[in-house]
Amino acid sequence: MFSVVESVALLGLRGDLVRVEVSLTRGLPAFVIVGLPDTSVREARERVRAAVVAAGFQWPQRRIVVNLAPAGVPKSGSWFDLPIALGILTAAGVFTADLCEGYLVVGELALSGSTASVPGVLSAAICARREGRQGLLVPEDNVAEAASVPGGKAVPVGTLTDLASGLPSPATVSSVPAPPIASSLPDMGDVAGQEFAKFGLQVAAAGGHHCLLLGEPGSGKTMLARRLPRLLPLLDENERLEASAVHSLAGELSGGLLYARPFRSPHHSVSAAALVGGSGVGGGGRRVRPGELSLAHNGVLFLDELGEFPASVLNMLREPLESGEVRIARFGVNVVLPARVWFVGAANPCPCGYDGSATAACICDMGALRRYQSRLGGPLRDRIDLTIPVTPVSPGQLLAFRSAPLSDQMAKDVAAARERQLERNGGILNAALGEAELERYAPLSEEASVLLRLCARRWSSRGLVSARKVARTIADLDGARDVTRQHMREAVAFRRCPGEDERFGARGGA
């Protein structure tokens, strides 16, 4: 007696087909699972046996061998419970062989015979669509997630007995328009003053640039950073699937797909694995869990009090911030997780926070100052395109301030600048341009070149390229075809080049 049920194995975000082959033969009763299962899959023997009996079916008194093919692909997680149970009951003749034909099956089983939700269902639904299957058989709690992939079907399974009379009807999830997300996000108009900082965040939003907000305590760094998502456009269909799949893998996706861009702000006590990814979940720890960096994919990763993060943790951000992905080597395989983010850091200039302040005296000695600044190493600072000074607003300005909507207009300017970039650059933002592409899409005038050469002695080659990218984005915000000296002056001001005039033109003062 033999049966085959199709399921999915996850390797990072990618789901690959797995054939759950079940063989029932004569001999002493036994239950064996082979095919490179981890601890959580091997434990399915006890869950499946109890669930089948609790659902009112007779457990086959045979030698049961379950093979998860291909055998060379690691299998992890509890979502093989349901396909294994269906395979056993089909091989025993309880269910017909064509019961779930054309569908992939995933789901955990409780000892009572009911199903339980599992993470990563969205990747399984994408796999089903890619492989030309009709859809998924999933636990009821995962139906909305599985049905959110365009063109896919989701068949809900509450208990094993639901399948006794045949396959339930696929769930229908009505198409709901995107909610009015922007109105629920904080507005940049709530921030008094800080015109140059607001402009800096607008540049970051338009060009996809990483930025650092630098200023003394209470100057408004966190308030500004939390208003960046409102300047960003809603996720398009591909971005929505990617970002939602990451959250699904982490078990943090409730309901349908994401529409607003993620905003993640981990505490400075976060571990390297929790920030970058790699912490295992489930028995055996074989499944790679996305870190905060990947959970912020296509959105904002905000690290407040950046100087308090351990240097070892911050240094792990270097490659991902440049490449837009995280590569994790675990269990003999390499897993790639997406990590294209707007990175925003907020830091005080020194441990006490008042180095260079006009409002209070700094009490830090030189040793403490060097140790604090060394946490944010040069290589990481070099990957941050914008260093935005945030200075305290005077009491008089605060008392006279009245908030007014601002983010919507800023967002329109950002959208227009992004449209210019994507059309000109072949679908990528300015922050992703290479040197050869900059020569083509962002040629400098002679005056702008002279200004940039003044900084060449103090900056790395990456810093010079970064300034050109920022200048190109500022020109796009102005609707200008060419990068002028004024655009380069403002880009240089964001790099804080020593000796350069820091009056910042008409955008505001430091």
pLDDT digit string, tens, across residues 117-171: 999 999 999 999 999 999 999 999 999 888 888 888 899 999 999 898 888 888 7
Report the CATH number at residue 136. Answer: 3.30.230.10
Q: Which residue has the higher pLDDT, 269 or 452?
A: 269
463 shares its domain with 341: no
450 shares its domain with 394: no
Position 505 pLDDT exceeds 60: no
> Closest Cα to residue 391, out of 361, 351, 354?
354
Report the CATH number at residue 198. Answer: 3.40.50.300
Residue 420 located in a structural domain: no
Total number of domains constituting the chain: 3
Q: Which range (90-94, 265-269, 317-321, 369-373) has the least confidence?
A: 369-373
**Mean pLDDT on 239-255:** 89
Residue 176 located in a structural domain: no
222 shares its domain with 98: no
262 shares its domain with 152: no
Residue 494 located in a structural domain: yes
The predicted structure's pLDDT at residue 248:
92
For the ranges 396-400, 471-475, 496-500, the one whose mean pLDDT is highest = 471-475
Position 452 pLDDT exceeds 60: yes
391, 407, 423 — which closes off a domain? 407
Residue 422 located in a structural domain: no
- Domain limits for position 204: 182-407
361 shares its domain with 448: no
461 shares its domain with 334: no
The predicted structure's pLDDT at residue 167:
86
Residue 74 pLDDT level (bands cut at 50, 70, 90): confident
Residue 84 pLDDT level (bands cut at 50, 70, 90): very high
The predicted structure's pLDDT at residue 197:
92
326 shares its domain with 472: no
135, 163, 191 — which closes off a domain? 163
Q: Which long-range contacts (CB under 8 A, 24 or more apart) does 82-85 make?
A: 82/106, 82/107, 82/108, 82/109, 82/115, 82/137, 82/139, 82/157, 83/5, 83/6, 83/7, 83/20, 83/107, 84/5, 84/20, 84/22, 84/33, 84/44, 84/48, 85/48, 85/51, 85/52, 85/109, 85/160
The predicted structure's pLDDT at residue 477:
95
136 shares its domain with 213: no
Spatial separation of the C-alpha atoms in residues 266 and 263, rounded to whole Å: 10
List of residues 6+ apart from 368 with CB closer than 8 A: 350, 351
**Mean pLDDT on 384-409:** 85
Strand boundaries in 103-217, DSSP class E: 103-105, 108-109, 115-116, 135-139, 153-157, 211-214
Q: Which range (298-312, 319-333, 383-397) has the least confidence?
A: 319-333
Residue 12 located in a structural domain: yes
Spatial separation of the C-alpha atoms in residues 421 and 474, rounded to whole Å: 11
Position 501 pLDDT exceeds 70: no
**Mean pLDDT on 238-256:** 88
Residue 213 located in a structural domain: yes
**Mean pLDDT on 361-388:** 84
Q: What is the pLDDT of residues 273-283, one digit of tens each?
A: 899 987 554 43
For the ranges 104-108, 216-220, 284-288, the one whose mean pLDDT is highest = 104-108
**Mean pLDDT on 211-238:** 92
Helix (H) or strand (E) holding 360: none
Residue 238 located in a structural domain: yes
Spatial separation of the C-alpha atoms in residues 260 and 235, rounded to whole Å: 6
pTM over 0.75? The answer is yes
207 shares its domain with 125: no
110, 136, 163 — which closes off a domain? 163
Average of per-residue pLDDT values in the chain: 87
Residue 168 located in a structural domain: no
154 shares its domain with 20: yes
250 shares its domain with 343: yes
Contact 116, 109 (CB under 8 A): yes
455 shares its domain with 345: no
Report the CATH number at residue 458. Answer: 1.10.8
The single residue listed with the structure tokens 């082979």 is 34
**Mean pLDDT on 388-416:** 87
**Mean pLDDT on 177-202:** 82
Q: What is the pLDDT of residues 350-367, one digit of tens each?
A: 888 888 777 788 888 888
The predicted structure's pLDDT at residue 144:
87
**Mean pLDDT on 310-320:** 89
